[in-house]
Amino acid sequence: MNGIEAYRIWAQDGALWTEWVKPVMFADGTYSDLSRPNIPDIHWLRSLQHDTALIVDLPGEAGVRESLALARLGYRPVPLYNGVFTKRQVTMAVDVRELARALFAGAELLSSMNINSDAAPVFMLDSRRLAHAGKAPGIYDNRWCIFPQDMPSAKFLVDHGIRRVIVRADREKPQDDLSHILYRYQEAGISILHSYSEAGNTVNEITVTRPSRFKSLFYRFKVMMGLSRNAAGGFGSMIPTPSHSGRRYRGIG
């Protein structure tokens, strides 16, 4: 399966949430030896809830597997991964090789599911997206973050019957970049709930605190300055390594 084929399965024509599917993880991939992904049983949510959107913010392939389990309940999975995957033999700030394989393997499984075109969404994030300490020479910096423009507006959600958002995460509270989106939803009257994966299967309503620099252009500028954007539209580029002379640099920018 090549990248275009996999992308078209995740970004199904005519599905309500397709325009938000990010293509960058599919740009450098072709696989022929994929095994069927191991899909976990879901206990924190028992059935499809038409008024509830989900955000799965789990590390790497675990997020793909959990999202596919939710797809079995009737939800529409929407990959939002925006850090570039490269097959080149380099060290990535966020190693997404297994995540990429899970997406391609998951495409085959997803293609066999009968999901309504207007089914409630599962937005898929990698909780490791900003985990690396920073830019280091010789590293392929593919760290990324989620911005409000990367997800549907609160109005769009409400107009399509969404009244609740559940965040399934490996942290006790939403990450800062996600809180900028959740706070907008909360302001619009959408209830925000949280399910901490390490605490079992509980789902609790939370109040999202107004994040620092909320709706500030400086927030976006500061975040973007710390990351490495590339011409393909995603995040990822090689951090140059100083040459022995100290005057010239080598690497892929």
State what percent of residues in the chain have pLDDT above 90. Answer: 68
- Total domains present in the chain: 1
Q: In the predicted model, is pLDDT for residue 132 greater than 70?
A: yes
Domain range for 96:
3-250
Average pLDDT over residues 170-184: 97
Averaged confidence pLDDT in the chain:
89
Pair type for strands 249-250 and 241-242: antiparallel
Encode pLDDT of 212-228 as tens digits: 988 887 777 778 778 88
* Under 8 Å between Cβ of 239 and 138: yes
Encode pLDDT of 158-173 as tens digits: 999 999 999 999 999 9
Token pair in block for residue 112: 């066999």
Strand ranges in 106-242 using DSSP code E only, listed in sequence order: 121-126, 139-141, 164-169, 191-196, 204-206, 237-238, 241-242
* Higher pLDDT, residue 240 or 142: 142
β-bridge partners, 252: none
Pair type for strands 191-196 and 204-206: antiparallel
Rounded alpha-carbon distances, angstroms, from residue 184 to 31, 115, 175: 39, 28, 15
Sequence letter at residue 42 = I
Residue with tokens 């793909």: 64
pTM comes to 0.90
Average pLDDT over residues 124-148: 88
Per-residue confidence band for 243, with pLDDT thresholds at 50, 70 and 90: low
Task: Count helices and strands (H / E) in the chain.
Answer: 6, 11
Encode pLDDT of 24-58 as tens digits: 899 876 777 788 889 999 999 999 999 999 999 99
Encode pLDDT of 108-130 as tens digits: 999 999 999 999 999 999 999 99
At residue 250, the pLDDT reads 35
Largest Cα–Cα separation, the chain: 62
